[in-house]
Amino acid sequence: MMRAFRNVYFTAGFIIAAGLLLASFLYSYWLKDIIPQPPERIYNEAGRLVDVPPYPPSWAHLFGVDRQGEDVFWKVIDGAKYTIFTALAVSLLRLAFGTVGGIIYAFYLQKFRFIAESIVRAFRFVPAIFLTMLFFAFIPLEEQGAGMEVLIKQILVFAAVALPPLMLVIGNDIAVFLQNEFVVSSRLMGANNFWLIRKHVLPYMRPRLFLLFIQQTVQSLLLLVHLGAFQILLGGVKIIDNSDGLGPPEKVAISLSNEWSGLIGLSYREMMLDQWIVVGPCVAFIVAIFAFKLMGKGLEQVIDEKGKRKQRKKQRSSAGKTASFPPQQSDFEFVLYK
């Protein structure tokens, strides 16, 4: 595991992701009180009113200021922890159930391969966002409620929609691995399935599972972006009355946290007016996804190298044998040419 940090890509990705999280926590516990709120009105030297929020991006407010007079940059930073932790939680759940399901599939359900594949195909061809939407379509936005219960329900659904394909991937990988000679001979010597799982399957799967974990995190982040566009909000919404007391009551839904998909989804109509309000969270999503992709790429390289190093070691140990004269049978070995 520590070897992964020697890889440039992995470390770079990790630093970006960790930096985002750190900044997010720093902000909500400490920086929040220090950083001044953007001015409610901007006057020029003559004391005349020039501008009211939303302000376009400037050096003082990197992503601009939104309609409620809040700095979009700090909103995005504040939301980072919710978004990233949700993505991590979803992919952790997927992986935990996926591994268990994959092992069961590889060991006991190989006979039903045909059925499993056609079931998984149904999950595979419908976009994950559409499946998710089906779960929430039957409840209108206002009645979804809010808070922890909704959040847990949503996370379970996000995990469930990608679970069957993941199970099949892990299961097929294990099933191929189980055909290795050392596994077969171990079984012949009387090892039961539990022993095989503990001593062979899990050590083999560990780096791969870690890679899958990161890839699934990327997938969950993508799902969150889609959710934003289709206006399904993490943790539900709160409806507030945004009217000024004169006009008709104007109901506006706000997300409970500054979580990114909510920031995108709720201000989507700002696109035609003040684009920077939407652009900020979009940039954040790209950065986060890029960071996790870098980590995945680095990890792939590490796993590849590990395999190569083992091969080299084997070659070296066989080269270390001194040839005897006259040559004996032990100096030769059968090589399978592929």
Partner 1 sequence: MKKWKLALTVLADLLLTILTIMAIIAFAQSYSLFPSPQMVTVFWQQFQQLFWSFFYIRDITVSLSQWHNAPLLSTMMEPYAYSLIILWGALAVSFLIAVTGAYICFLLPRPLQKIVKGIAFFLESIPDVIFIFSTQLFVIWVFKKTDLLIVDPVAGFDNVYVLPIVMISILPSIMLFQMTFLAFTEEKDKPYVEYALAKGLSKTAVLWRHMFRNALITVFSNMQYLFWFMLSNLLVTEYLFNMHGFFRFLYEQRHTPEVVAIGLAMLFLPFYIIDVAGKRVIAYLTGIERGVA
- The binding site for partner 1 (CB under 8 A) comprises 114-115, 118-119, 121-131, 133-135, 137-138, 149, 152-153, 156-157, 218, 221-222, 225-226, 228-230, 264, 271-272, 275, 278-279, 282, 285-286, 289-290, 293, 297
Of 129 and 299, the one with the shorter C-beta distance to partner 1 is 129
Rounded CA gap, 102 and 208, in Å? 13
User: Residue 217 to residues 131, 256, 288: CA-CA distances in angstroms?
Assistant: 18, 22, 10
Tokens of 18: 């960790």
Beta strand segments in 68-220, E:
none
Of 100 and 137, the one with the shorter C-beta distance to partner 1 is 137
> What are phi and psi for residue 238, nearest 5 degrees?
-115, 135
Measured from the CB of residue 190, what is the shortest distance to partner 1 in angstroms? Answer: 33
Measured from the CB of residue 146, what is the shortest distance to partner 1 in angstroms? Answer: 14
Measure the CA dihedral 255/260/265/270, to 10°.
100
Of 62 and 197, the one with the shorter C-beta distance to partner 1 is 62
Measured from the CB of residue 134, what is the shortest distance to partner 1 in angstroms? Answer: 4
Rounded CA gap, 143 and 145, in Å? 5
Of 124 and 187, the one with the shorter C-beta distance to partner 1 is 124
Of 220 and 257, the one with the shorter C-beta distance to partner 1 is 220
Give the relative orientation of helices 202-229 and 72-108 as an angle to the nearest 10 degrees: 140
Measured from the CB of residue 150, what is the shortest distance to partner 1 in angstroms? Answer: 9
Measured from the CB of residue 204, what is the shortest distance to partner 1 in angstroms? Answer: 23
